[in-house]
Amino acid sequence: MPMSTRIDSAIHAALARTRTGGSAPAKLSDALPYACTPGGARIRPTILVSVALACGDETPAITDAAAAALELMHCASLVHDDLPCFDDADTRRGKPSVHRAYSEPLAVLTGDALIILAFETLALSAASHPARAAALVALLARQSGMPHGICAGQGWESETHIDLSAYHRSKTGALFIAATQMGALSAGQDPEPWTELGARIGEAFQVADDLRDALSDETETGKPAGQDALHCRPNAVAELGVDGAVTRLKDILSGAIASIPSCPGEAALAQMMRMQAERLTPAFARTRARV
Amino acid sequence: MPMSTRIDSAIHAALARTRTGGSAPAKLSDALPYACTPGGARIRPTILVSVALACGDETPAITDAAAAALELMHCASLVHDDLPCFDDADTRRGKPSVHRAYSEPLAVLTGDALIILAFETLALSAASHPARAAALVALLARQSGMPHGICAGQGWESETHIDLSAYHRSKTGALFIAATQMGALSAGQDPEPWTELGARIGEAFQVADDLRDALSDETETGKPAGQDALHCRPNAVAELGVDGAVTRLKDILSGAIASIPSCPGEAALAQMMRMQAERLTPAFARTRARV
């Protein structure tokens, strides 16, 4: 089974549990899969499954649950980030954002229900290895909540003085650290040595996103462009210029590949990382880097 | 240690974890305890701990984690319910609601972070009994998310045709079912026989809340009155009249006490239930019932 099919099946199985067993509110039922599709690159669960495979993937059902949980948490954060009180984004994934398509109350509830479903998905995979499932819950919570997860990242945007390093690490890095750590843990390995790889991928992703936000248009990304400048948010392009940001992106990605811990599937994982790096680098930036 | 001290210590310990280990956004850090205090009756964790004690409370650290997690989830739901797109409540617990005191973005994030903290708290209690902790995560998720938890309850308010029984069971009943089930599970007992007690307490609470909403004023409850009529929500007082609602409340509470499963601390639990019943019944309704 191709990895993308494996990941989509896992997300689909998790979402299907929200539609079983009697009467449920129809609009909220529909908003949950709406918020998670179309999937796009599914980059976080792809990294998670790749790391698990590199570590032997001894309990694939737990890996699948972890991949789905991570993507559900990511989708939840996008739904809440798009709300009128944050980015007020009309579009996401090339279609109306959840609060535009359904309503603002349903968008708040969609995010809440997806967060809860993420943890439920992990807990329900616990039959064979309950300690591993509980550790995955703790790990996902740590990278999602306060004081250092994605909630903290968004929280920094309400502060007058922003700790930039903490801001970037929480806002973008946290779920990539979750991806590499949860991948290792799903396969029964110590997650700690995988932290650096996740952190470096997160940095790369942030710079790539900054480049995309500053230079591309809505047609290409499926979401409004220029949001960082509009909301006065810190941005690598503003700090380093376009060429400087492209150079930094390449340096970070090289460092990420070099940081892969020794494991049975190390070479294949490095190859996957190179492919993701190509994907991460916006087309115009690749052209520019060749000049 | 009095039960209220035990519960407040558990909640405090969970919240303290969001303030450790380096730089975090200060306003969001402050908003989390703000959203959980002052505690009021802490009725859900009180029921949870009472059931655990009645079942022997063999792993008190897990009971404490479960009590804190349940209350954090409840507080998260209040913060999101108060948002402008739902009840638009200016006050809660006799002070400004979280979005009025901090901001709307911080209120969304506070709810999200409290949901995540609830699951993290359960997962971190897993050291001695990981399967029990994982089952608690699954149980809390089931009673909080979709299709039958408190998110579903709120979701029903966006539907044209409401399934009233599903609506009440999800909106108010779910976290009381969580309370009795999690209490039994924390003590290593099968949660299933405890479902009915939780469901009946939930029904009682809903009727009591309807009476309070219809008849009392903001000074007494610390939150705006008349919200149900304002938002055209179903209400037992509208359906049965005040006297009918008071009679139903008393019937439900008697049934709840009768439904307590056989367990070592059955008598003490029945006594606690009678005290909670007194607390649940609004003063004017008690007077009215005596007439």
Give B135-147 pLDDT, tens digit per residue: 999 999 999 999 9
Residue A268: is its pLDDT beyond 60?
A: yes
Give the pLDDT score at B287: 64
CA distance A137 to A118: 9
Residue of A nearest to B135 (CA): A123
- Using omega within 30 degrees of 0 as the cis cutoff, is the peptide bond preceding A38 cis? yes
Distance between A35 CA and the closest CA of chain B, angstroms: 14
Distance between A268 CA and the closest CA of chain B, angstroms: 33
Distance between A230 CA and the closest CA of chain B, angstroms: 17
Give the pLDDT score at A291: 37
ipTM value, please give it. Answer: 0.92
Task: Choose the closest CB to B159 out of A26, A104, A126.
Answer: A26
pLDDT per residue as tens digits for the range B161-199: 988 889 989 998 999 999 999 999 999 999 999 999 999
Per-residue tokens: A21: 């067993």
Residue of A nearest to B170 (CA): A24
Give the pLDDT score at A288: 59
- Domain membership of residue B20 as a residue range: 3-290
Q: How confident is the model at residue B126 (pLDDT cuts 50, 70, 90)?
A: confident
Give the pLDDT score at B209: 84
Residues of A in contact with B151 (CB under 8 A): 28, 109, 112-113, 116
A134:B148 CB<8 A: no
User: Coil, strand, or helix at residue B95?
Assistant: strand
**Span B106-123, mean pLDDT?**
98
Give the pLDDT score at A165: 86
CA distance A141 to B72: 14
DSSP string, B257-272: HHTPPP-TTHHHHHHH
pLDDT per residue as tens digits for the range A182-221: 999 999 999 999 999 999 999 998 888 888 888 775 555 5
Residues of A in contact with B22 (CB under 8 A): 147-148, 166
Residue B234: is its pLDDT beyond 70?
A: no
Distance between A278 CA and the closest CA of chain B, angstroms: 33
Residue B71: is its pLDDT beyond 60?
A: yes
Q: How confident is the model at residue B291 (pLDDT cuts 50, 70, 90)?
A: very low
For residue B205, CA distances in Å to A238, B51, B145, B282 come to 55, 17, 20, 11
Per-residue tokens: A227: 């949001």
pLDDT per residue as tens digits for the range A86-107: 999 999 999 999 999 999 999 9
pLDDT per residue as tens digits for the range A57-79: 999 999 999 999 999 999 999 99
* CA of residue A27 relative to chain centroid, distance: 25
Give the pLDDT score at B172: 87
**Degrees to nearest 5, angle at CA A257 with A132 and A68:** 35
The domain tally of chain B equals: 1
Residue B125: is its pLDDT beyond 90?
A: yes
User: Among A215-219, A259-263, B40-44, B153-157, where is mean pLDDT lowest?
Assistant: A215-219
What are the residues facing A96 on neighbouring strands? Answer: A91
CB B178 within 8 A of CB B71: no
Give the pLDDT score at A276: 78
A120:B23 CB<8 A: no
CA distance B221 to B203: 19
Give the pLDDT score at A72: 98
Output the domain CATH number for residue B186.
1.10.600.10
User: Coil, strand, or helix at residue B96?
Assistant: strand
Give the pLDDT score at B224: 64
- Using omega within 30 degrees of 0 as the cis cutoff, is the peptide bond preceding B38 cis? yes
Residue of B nearest to A32 (CA): B146
**Degrees to nearest 5, angle at CA B110 with B104 and B115:** 135
Percent of chain A with pLDDT over 70: 90
**Degrees to nearest 5, angle at CA B132 with B128 and B136:** 130
Residues of A in contact with B155 (CB under 8 A): 24-25, 27-29, 106, 109, 113
**Span B9-33, mean pLDDT?**
94
Residue B221: is its pLDDT beyond 80?
A: no
pLDDT per residue as tens digits for the range B236-271: 888 888 899 989 998 999 999 999 999 999 999 998
Q: How confident is the model at residue B275 (pLDDT cuts 50, 70, 90)?
A: confident
pLDDT per residue as tens digits for the range A138-177: 999 999 999 999 999 999 999 999 888 899 899 989 999 9
Residue A124: is its pLDDT beyond 70?
A: yes
Give the pLDDT score at A209: 84
Q: How confident is the model at residue A230 (pLDDT cuts 50, 70, 90)?
A: low
Give the pLDDT score at B239: 85
Give the pLDDT score at B41: 87
What H or E segment, with its residue span, contains residue A92?
A: strand A91-92
Q: What is the mean pLDDT of chain A?
A: 91
Q: What is the mean pLDDT of chain B?
A: 91
CB A243 within 8 A of CB A286: no
Residue of B nearest to A104 (CA): B85
Residue A283: is its pLDDT beyond 80?
A: no
